[in-house]
Amino acid sequence: MHRSLHTPNQLREFAPRVEAALSVGEAHAPKGERTAQVAGDALVFPYRVYYAPDRIDTVTRSLEGDARVLALCLMSRHHDGRVRETAVRDSLFIAKPWSVPFSTQRLGEYVVEIGRAVEDQMTRFGLKPFVEFARENPNFMESTRRRAISYWDCYYRNVYKNLEEYPCFRALRPYAPRRARPNPSVKASPNTSNVRPLNCCILAKRDYLDWNTNSPLKTLEQIMIWPTAEALSAMVPLPEGYRYELLNRSEIPALVHAVDEWFPGLDVSNASCFRREDFYTSRVVLEGDVDRDFFVVMFKRGEEWAGMLSVERDRDSQVIYGRVGTIAEAHRGARLSKCFPPLMEAMGIAMGMGMVYSLATLKVPHMQVGFEKAGWKLIGIMPGFDRELVTPGEVKRVFEAIYVKVLVTRSEFVRPTTHGMTPTTRALFDLLFPSQRDAGTEA
């Protein structure tokens, strides 16, 4: 069974024993990884663990010193929020250099009380271990900071009108006092209430200032953090027994093999990149590289892979393009593919996009039906954009249907006039958008 814990030198004498004791009877292996540097030594710990709850008290009572501290840190990554809460409460009186990453990680999650707890730790132990960790792990800190902003934007804007009042963000301030900070005059925007349930996975797009120059950080306007698996589950629930997981770096070789099995002939299409390991390692969102433009979400049932959906973000146009979605043959009866359109739409709304679009094959009607039932609009047929393997050894260009879902109001569009369209273009416009036929009048 794969284990994801790698500890600094001073813990290696007892860390395997602690992890092995906690792992007895676990539901399944840890999921995801977080990596940090502690005094020049690597610490890799799991994002989520699934230890049997009845083992936890037994193990922690049998340990003492650093071994017990490590057990509490690992328990703070438990999938059961009640277990996490107990572990956090019991670890408030601990601030060892190698325990700081666990505390910091929790600031980028949705439990606001964690921020207050970490502030208590800082008051009790001083800022030194936290500041030293921040200096050694700028990427870890930036990722955590963005997630804290995201959860404030989703869950707590009505409680904390200014971001700097939000406890989890406030607790991050002493870590890196020279990093970017928000403009304290920024208030909650009344225009986002209509997407509140889906807006829990992005970096709030507000006016940020650089502490060094006091000038706007314009690049942050275009940074949008991809959804977590938990956020996806809240947006678009899967059938019972299925779950979403984000792609893990260690899963890439197996995914390449699975895609080849689920989607034969992909190697001649514009999605052939999804059959190359280097594509995932260099361009797809992975732990430690969250601000990339390709995103892959896995569909799983137990330990079995059921399918995958991939999308591409165009941050300049603020558009999401649905790339490859495929379901394993054994799970096609669960109708998982019907989740593809609402998933892409939910991501787009949550990330402030203006539109999502995708192409559907004309070989079979299933995805056409899925898009149309989800309220997407067919706007045309693309001839020859892609290629398919029609028979063994024979590759031909194909026709594909273009479906879009607009995510902004009509007021955000420039209305075309007669001067801007030929008669042929005007006829097609009226056919596709009959409710806007008056848009062609002189402006």
Distance from C-alpha of 437 to C-alpha of 117, rounded to nearest angstrom: 58
Residue 92 DSSP code? T
Q: Are residues 214 and 326 in the same domain?
A: no
Tokens of 14: 């007892």
First-to-last C-alpha distance (Å) of the chain: 67
Look at residue 365 in the predicted model and tell me its pLDDT: 93
How far is CA 428 from each of CA 62, 380, 440, rounded to the nearest angstrom?
74, 10, 12
Look at residue 178 in the predicted model and tell me its pLDDT: 42
Is the residue at 4 inside a domain? Answer: no
Q: Are residues 87 and 182 in the same domain?
A: yes
Q: Are residues 272 and 208 in the same domain?
A: no
Distance from C-alpha of 63 to C-alpha of 22, rounded to nearest angstrom: 11
Residue 335's Cβ-count burial label (10 Å; 0-12, 13-18, 19+) is exposed
Q: Are residues 233 and 299 in the same domain?
A: yes
CB atoms within 10 A of CB 339: 27
Q: Are residues 181 and 113 in the same domain?
A: yes
What CATH number is given to the structural domain containing 397?
3.40.630.30
Count up the domains in the chain and report the number: 3
**Mind listing the pLDDT tens digit for each residue in 178-234?**
433 444 443 433 333 333 333 334 333 333 333 333 333 333 333 466 777 877 887
Q: Are residues 66 and 130 in the same domain?
A: yes
Strand partners, 182: 208
Is the residue at 3 inside a domain? Answer: no
Is the residue at 69 inside a domain? Answer: yes
**Mind listing the pLDDT tens digit for each residue in 393-420?**
888 999 999 999 998 877 788 888 888 9
Look at residue 244 in the predicted model and tell me its pLDDT: 93
- Contacts of the segment 242-245: beta carbons below 8 A, 24+ positions apart: 242/299, 242/300, 242/301, 242/306, 242/334, 242/336, 243/299, 243/300, 243/301, 244/297, 244/298, 244/299, 244/300, 245/31, 245/297, 245/298, 245/300
How do 319-327 and 377-391 pair as beta strands? unpaired
**Mind listing the pLDDT tens digit for each residue in 59-68?**
888 888 888 8
Q: Are residues 238 and 291 in the same domain?
A: yes
Q: Are residues 77 and 94 in the same domain?
A: yes
Strand partners, 312: 294, 321
- Boundaries of domain holding 121: 9-186+194-219
Q: Assign 3-class secondary structure to 207-269.
A: CEECCCCCCECHHHHHCCCCCCHHHHHHHCCCCCCEEEEECCHHHHHHHHHHHHHHCCCHHHC
Distance from C-alpha of 219 to C-alpha of 174, rounded to nearest angstrom: 23
Q: Are residues 341 and 267 in the same domain?
A: yes
Is the residue at 1 inside a domain? Answer: no
Look at residue 297 in the predicted model and tell me its pLDDT: 95
Distance from C-alpha of 371 to C-alpha of 172, rounded to nearest angstrom: 42
Look at residue 175 in the predicted model and tell me its pLDDT: 64
Residue with tokens 């045309």: 380
How far is CA 290 from each of CA 102, 197, 259, 311, rounded to the nearest angstrom?
19, 22, 22, 14
Is the residue at 322 inside a domain? Answer: yes
Is the residue at 375 inside a domain? Answer: yes
Tokens of 254: 């197996």
Q: Are residues 371 and 267 in the same domain?
A: yes
Q: Are residues 300 and 348 in the same domain?
A: yes
Tens digit of pLDDT at every position of the chain (443 positions):
445 678 777 788 888 888 888 888 887 788 888 889 888 888 988 888 888 877 777 888 888 888 888 888 898 888 887 787 778 777 766 668 888 888 888 888 777 777 777 777 777 767 778 888 888 888 888 888 888 887 787 778 788 888 888 888 888 876 644 433 444 443 433 333 333 333 334 333 333 333 333 333 333 333 466 777 877 887 789 999 999 999 989 999 999 999 988 988 777 888 889 999 999 999 999 876 777 899 999 999 998 999 999 999 998 888 999 999 999 999 999 999 999 999 999 888 777 788 999 999 898 899 999 999 999 999 999 998 888 888 888 889 999 999 999 988 777 888 888 889 999 999 999 999 887 765 444 33
Is the residue at 159 inside a domain? Answer: yes
Of 153, 136, 144, 140, nearest to 172 (Cα)? 144
Is the residue at 224 inside a domain? Answer: no
Q: Are residues 240 and 372 in the same domain?
A: yes
